[in-house]
Structure 1
């Protein structure tokens, strides 16, 4: 079924408001034949005449009187839509859906969100969290968010922006024999015979810990598996075993021991979208790149 166009509705309203095809054509900056053609097309679409042409004016038919309020409402809604889009592009209002892995929402994101709210209080952020980078990528592919923040997505064909390098640290109790060493580092092989604070199998950090330990020549035994990423450093500080955690998630005034792995354990964090991002998404990604507590790539 053919639907009326906004232009046709605008032409109808203007003819009624001016009371004349001639004056309406002048106001709309179109020729009178073009205006008449659009009105006839609208009448054809709606199945009957809308205007009665009188010698010096026009008069609405019963159908025209029924249609006119809806035409005015449609034009007003279109104006509101345009104004909203302009305010969103100007970062005055809107909503941005951001998908992240758990460690990002715990570590680098809170100060970014705080600054975003200060700068753009009218723009809401809807946060979606995922335990694994693969599920984050699947969610973005399915269109569940405007922007994803996580490790480099393999095979991604959309725009990718590198944010920096996320450093990992080994967490031990404050009274651990390895605490206080001047170098502030530890080789993972020194911890090969210990049971670790591991992660639940569906947490992406479980794969990362297994990978870096395999590279060091051993498989980490799990003393406990943390469902929540934020629990890992707390369990390690309590003496349940060493934990490998993103340095950004360690809380302030932490009472455990932090040692840098030797060799370092790092991963690059990115922000990525499916298509060329709109101004709202670009503005958030720009702030993220400036505010995120990660090392430059």
Structure 2
């Protein structure tokens, strides 16, 4: 069985960078710490550190072990914090993963209803690629994943994909660009500099197909997986950019841009992905009900 005390000594040395600094933090002798780490290495027959001059460096095995130790002791710290709270102060932990292709304004408006719950809630939000988020969902490191697509069918994960809603897209440009390309939408996009979502987004193929159907050939000047980065480039006047129509007014206020057109022929959808045993978590219920009641028109599954 894994000796967690030995693992903890390894973790502290790896984090502080030396046995001397680990001794100061743990109030132990160098012989105790180095001896315990040696026992851990001997147990599995794999070195975790190597000495380079007077410095210790992690071996390849040590680099692989460190993230696991990080998670183990972070969870331990979280558990201590929870147990130290008075019962009336205990918060419901709600761990949300957000696919990096989902607009941040949409994420905020989806999560906002959880802050109005009667029970105190503590939200941790992490942005990453969808496949990595789903891997963490499968091993219960996350309670919910927000994405622009349902869970892929080829994954061996017993999960639920709830469609929160869908909406059309809007096209935005700075005042200068809007003067040149703001009339006769959508044909004004022909030859216009256009910023589009990257290849990992669902909306990209729908947008390009619609442009082809309209026989419109914009000049694509940038592709972005991160919608916030695309909006920042759009705000600087690099090109016309898109965002979900449901946040059109917010985009115009935040980025000081003008709306040059909208279409319902291209829709963007958003999903709440969870595992079945977590589907009644109060945070998930607040998000799904809030999205359907206030953010989107009723969505078909």
**TM-score between both structures, scaled by the size of structure 2:** 0.53
Deviation at 1:268, TM superposition (A): 2.5
Q: How does 1:33-182 map to 2 (within 5 A)?
A: 93-102=91-100, 104=102, 106-119=104-117, 122-130=120-128, 137=134, 140-141=137-138, 143-153=140-150, 154-155=152-153, 158-175=159-176, 176-177=178-179
Deviation at 1:147, TM superposition (A): 1.2
User: Cα distance 1:112–1:291, how it changes in 2: closer, same or farther (>3 A)?
Assistant: farther
Structure-1 residue corresponding to 2:265: 264
| Gap runs ≥5 in structure 1 | 1-79
Deviation at 1:106, TM superposition (A): 1.0
User: Cα distance 1:194–1:135, how it changes in 2: closer, same or farther (>3 A)?
Assistant: farther
Number of residue equivalences: 210
Q: Which has the larger radius of gyration?
A: 1
| In structure 1, C-alpha distance between the alignment counterparts of 2:170 and 2:235, rounded to whole Å | 13
User: Cα distance 1:295–1:242, how it changes in 2: closer, same or farther (>3 A)?
Assistant: same
Richer in helix (by share) = 2
Structure-1 residue corresponding to 2:296: 294
**TM-score between both structures, scaled by the size of structure 1:** 0.54
Structure-1 residue corresponding to 2:237: 239
Q: Which moved more, 1:215-224 or 1:147-156?
A: 215-224
Q: How does 1:181-220 map to 2 (within 5 A)?
A: 186-187=185-186, 189-202=187-200, 206-217=204-215, 220=218
| In structure 1, C-alpha distance between the alignment counterparts of 2:122 and 2:103, rounded to whole Å | 16
CA contact (8 A) 2:113 2:287 kept: no
Q: Do structure 1's residue 273 and structure 2's residue 267 form an aligned pair?
A: no
User: Cα distance 1:138–1:186, how it changes in 2: closer, same or farther (>3 A)?
Assistant: farther
Deviation at 1:194, TM superposition (A): 2.4
| In structure 1, C-alpha distance between the alignment counterparts of 2:135 and 2:218, rounded to whole Å | 28
User: Cα distance 1:122–1:226, how it changes in 2: closer, same or farther (>3 A)?
Assistant: same
User: Cα distance 1:107–1:243, how it changes in 2: closer, same or farther (>3 A)?
Assistant: same
Deviation at 1:121, TM superposition (A): 6.6
SS at 1:107 equivalent: helix
| In structure 2, C-alpha distance between the alignment counterparts of 1:138 and 1:220, rounded to whole Å | 38
User: Cα distance 1:217–1:91, how it changes in 2: closer, same or farther (>3 A)?
Assistant: farther
Deviation at 1:169, TM superposition (A): 0.8
SS at 1:244 equivalent: strand
User: Cα distance 1:211–1:146, how it changes in 2: closer, same or farther (>3 A)?
Assistant: farther
CA contact (8 A) 2:168 2:266 kept: yes
| In structure 2, C-alpha distance between the alignment counterparts of 1:268 and 1:227, rounded to whole Å | 16
SS at 1:168 equivalent: strand
| Gap runs ≥5 in structure 2 | 1-78
Deviation at 1:179, TM superposition (A): 6.7
Deviation at 1:170, TM superposition (A): 0.6
